[in-house]
Amino acid sequence: MCVILVCPPKVRPDIDVLRACHAANPHGAGVGWRRGDKVHWQKNLGPEEVSQLIGKLDGELVIHFRWASVGGVQPQLCHPFSVDRVSSTKLEGKAARLLFHNGTWSGHKSALEFVEAKQKRKVGGPLSDSRVIALLVDHLRDNSVLQHIDGRFVLYSAKTTKLYGDWRTWGVHSAAYSCSRT
């Protein structure tokens, strides 16, 4: 189930690390980075595309390699997801906040029903537990819900990076990567 790398400024995984992450989680990678007052993303990438992209980016960034569980293998279900009313499934974009998730959440169906009932609308497009979590966080306007859902999360905005769940630090140079794998 997924690998998330939180990479500090000037620290980037090499192509061998990216290929190993992809080999273990082959259903598409996504990258989030800061630019101005927004966070940007690209997803449904392979390891070479990730390497080329992150080589052009400054500052902290987040990389996610997906192992498809809920929702199956679909490019639009690669992470990240925008934390907003839509929780975009576009393959690239920008938003105020992004959500990356490692794990599987069995409560996603009832959470989706809750959000749809409260907002009096049906959510369109492909769905995964992770996309539903992004919708729920936005609807509740409360990040603390992530402390009560199994898994590991990165909530990423233009100014902050918040980690939820049991994280481990990995790397040769003091906290080179924060890595999550279940």
Instruction: Walk me through the domains of the chain, giving residue ranges and CATH numbers.
Output: 3-181 (3.60.20.10)
Question: Which range, of 10-14, 147-151, 168-172, 174-178, averages the lowest pLDDT?
Answer: 174-178
Eight-state DSSP code of residue 123: P
pLDDT band at 173 (very low <50, low <70, confident <90, very high): very low
Cβ partners under 8 Å of residue 17, min gap 6 = none
Give the whole-angstrom CA distance, residue 88 versus residue 30: 13
pLDDT in tens, 123-136: 999 999 999 999 99
- What percentage of the chain exceeds 70 in pLDDT? 92
Q: Does the pLDDT at position 181 exceed 80?
A: no
Distance CA 112, CA 21 (A): 30
Q: How many CB atoms lie within 10 A of CB 122?
A: 7
Rounded Cα distance, 8 and 12, in Å = 8
Average pLDDT, rounded, for the chain: 91
